[in-house]
């Protein structure tokens, strides 16, 4: 009976966790933040305690999983519904290498030393900091890398051009998010050297009159504006 009881509780716990992961969605599971990591440990403790503690009933573990899952779902709902809560609840990416130069203040803020940075870069097949134009520390602890032109993997277009003329190094520009979920990021707009008048004219040229009609809009110095409507 002891083994039957363990098997029964394990199956129930497995089913409950499976249902919860389905409700939370794949996007949440693919981007594990420190908060998500702690949540996974807590859920594991719930199931483990239910298996080996005779005083804890299966109803208690189901209630705990349901309540904890509801709290996680509420956090995810807030970040999707209210744009201002995202940086607080999920964190925000940090640029640790900017225009080929290491941002020591950003690294200090993120508690990131050179050894850790080099390790993260090597995971992206980058073995020298000199190859990097921009490196962004994401909220899940990984690094996204934009290489300098001469170190980037050549495309078919680059190869064809190289056959005609000698390849010349071109400047690398980082795309800037101007509008997300219908909200303008005025700080990014100012950092990009742009203003509201320019933004309105750009949108009007595409027959768009309201910011809230735009799902996503980014600007890149060498390519201009890219946007997606709601």
Tell me: the pLDDT tens digits for 154-172? 666 666 666 665 445 567 7
Q: Is the pLDDT of residue 24 over 60?
A: no
Contact 10, 16 (CB under 8 A): no
Q: Which of 3.30.240.20, 2.60.120.10, 3.40.50.1010, 3.40.50.720 is the CATH number of 94-164?
A: 3.30.240.20
Q: Is the pLDDT of residue 56 over 50?
A: yes
Q: Is the pLDDT of residue 105 over 80?
A: yes
Tokens for 191, please give them.
Answer: 């950092």
- Range with lowest mean pLDDT among 68-72, 134-138, 158-162: 158-162
Q: Is the pLDDT of residue 57 over 50?
A: yes
Which ranges of 90-227 would DSSP assign to H, the alpha helix?
A: 104-109, 114-122, 156-164, 186-191, 196-204
Q: Give the DSSP letter of residue 138.
A: -
Instruction: Sort 206 into a burial class: Cβ within 10 Å, 0-12 / 13-18 / 19+.
Output: exposed
Stated pTM of the model: 0.53
Q: What is the mean pLDDT of the chain?
A: 76
Per DSSP, the residues of 180-202 read ETTEE-HHHHHHTT--HHHHHHH
Contact 174, 146 (CB under 8 A): yes
- Residue reference for tokens 């101007």: 178
Summarised one tens digit per residue, pLDDT across range 2-16 is: 667 667 666 776 676
Whole-number Å distance between alpha carbons of 153 and 151: 7
Q: Which of 1.25.40.10, 3.40.50.800, 3.30.240.20, 3.30.565.10 is the CATH number of 176-229?
A: 3.30.240.20
Contact 145, 134 (CB under 8 A): yes
Confidence class for position 27, pLDDT limits 50, 70, 90: very low
Contact 16, 66 (CB under 8 A): yes
Among the listed residues 25, 33, 20, 32, the one whose alpha carbon sits nearest the alpha carbon of residue 65:
20
Q: Is the pLDDT of residue 30 over 50?
A: no
Looking at the chain, the whole-number percentage of residues with pLDDT higher than 70 is 64
Contact 167, 161 (CB under 8 A): yes
- For residue 134, the model assigns a pLDDT of 92
Summarised one tens digit per residue, pLDDT across range 172-221 is: 778 888 888 788 888 888 888 888 888 888 888 888 888 888 878 888 88
Q: Is the pLDDT of residue 88 over 70?
A: no
Contact 219, 176 (CB under 8 A): yes
- For residue 26, the model assigns a pLDDT of 47
- For residue 85, the model assigns a pLDDT of 65
Whole-number Å distance between alpha carbons of 195 and 198: 5
For residue 100, is it left (φ>0), alpha (ψ between -120 and 50) or beta? left
């Amino acid at each position: 009976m002891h083994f039957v009881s363990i098997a029964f509780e394990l199956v129930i716990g497995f089913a409950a966790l499976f249902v919860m992961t389905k409700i939370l969605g794949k996007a949440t599971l693919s981007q594990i933040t420190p908060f998500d990591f702690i949540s996974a440990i807590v859920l594991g403790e719930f199931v483990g305690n239910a298996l080996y503690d005779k005083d804890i009933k299966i109803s208690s573990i189901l209630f705990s999983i349901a309540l904890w899952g509801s709290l996680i779902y509420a956090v995810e709902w807030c970040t999707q519904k209210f744009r201002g809560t995202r940086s607080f609840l999920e964190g925000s990416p940090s640029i640790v290498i900017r225009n080929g130069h290491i941002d020591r203040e950003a690294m200090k803020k993120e508690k990131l030393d050179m050894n850790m940075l080099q390790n993260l870069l090597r995971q992206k097949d980058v073995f020298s900091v000199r190859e990097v134009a921009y490196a962004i520390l994401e909220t899940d602890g990984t690094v996204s890398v934009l290489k300098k032109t001469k170190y980037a993997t050549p495309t078919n277009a680059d190869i064809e051009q190289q056959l005609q003329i000698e390849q010349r190094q071109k400047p690398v520009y980082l795309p800037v998010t101007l509008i997300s979920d219908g909200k303008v990021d005025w700080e990014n707009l100012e950092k990009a050297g742009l203003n509201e008048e320019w933004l309105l004219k750009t949108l009007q040229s595409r027959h768009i009159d309201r910011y809230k009609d735009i799902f996503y809009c980014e600007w890149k110095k060498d390519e201009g504006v890219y946007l997606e409507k709601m």
